[in-house]
């Protein structure tokens, strides 16, 4: 019962944070709302007993992507407040409503089945062993880390005063 309440509470927080990302005029506050939404999604993963996905969500999206986004916003010299008014507001709203309708139709018409088999094996430890045991997956993980570091250094160099 507590997990169900937590799930719905986190779902509302995620929806609210997503709306704040779109509605807020300040780019920095919008990025902070994005971080809140991503943390709430990690909480949803925890309520669904998907611990590895929650950890990956925190490490990859909150810990790397969001921080890189906020760092890029902070290093930009002249951040414009919000997006300028344009003529595509109404068409984009209509397209998003149609997309939302299609997604609702697909979700409601899909035959969702629950798995009856519960795994007792520690899948997180098994996945970690597979990733880091020298089976050829350690190099892509290291390359991703180096690319993120290069992006941060590049943002700092670009924002440096001349």
Q: Which residues make Cβ contacts (< 8 Å) with residue 35, sequence separation at least 6?
A: 62, 66, 70
Mean pLDDT computed over 110-137: 73
Mean per-residue pLDDT of the chain: 82
Higher pLDDT, 158 or 31: 31
Buried b (16+ CB within 10 A) or exposed e, 1-31: eeeeeeeeebeebbeebbebbeeeeebeebb
Retrieve residue 94's tokens.
């209509």
Distance CA 24, CA 49 (A): 33
The string of pLDDT tens digits covering residues 12-58 is 999 999 999 888 888 888 888 999 999 999 999 999 888 888 888 88
DSSP 111-162: ------PPP-S-HHHHHHHHHHSSSS-HHHHHHHHHHHHHHHHHHHHHHS--
pLDDT at 157 over 80: no
Tokens 């880091």 belong to residue: 132
Mean pLDDT in residue range 53-65: 85
- Give the whole-angstrom CA distance, residue 151 versus residue 162: 20
* Global pTM value: 0.62
């Amino acid at each position: 019962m507590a997990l169900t309440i937590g799930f719905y509470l986190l779902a509302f927080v995620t929806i609210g944070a997503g709306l704040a990302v779109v509605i807020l005029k300040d780019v920095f506050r919008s990025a902070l709302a994005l971080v809140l939404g991503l943390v709430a999604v990690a909480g949803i993963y925890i309520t669904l007993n998907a611990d590895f996905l929650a950890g990956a969500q925190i490490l990859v999206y909150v810990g790397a992507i969001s921080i890189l986004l906020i760092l890029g916003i902070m290093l930009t010299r002249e951040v414009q407040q919000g997006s300028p008014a344009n003529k595509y507001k109404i068409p984009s709203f209509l397209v998003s409503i149609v997309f939302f309708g299609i997604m609702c139709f697909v979700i409601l018409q899909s035959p969702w089945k629950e798995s009856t088999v519960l795994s007792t094996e520690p899948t997180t430890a098994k996945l970690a062993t597979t990733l880091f045991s020298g089976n050829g997956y350690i190099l892509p993980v290291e390359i991703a880390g180096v690319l993120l570091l290069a992006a941060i250094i590049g943002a700092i160099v670009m924002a440096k005063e001349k």
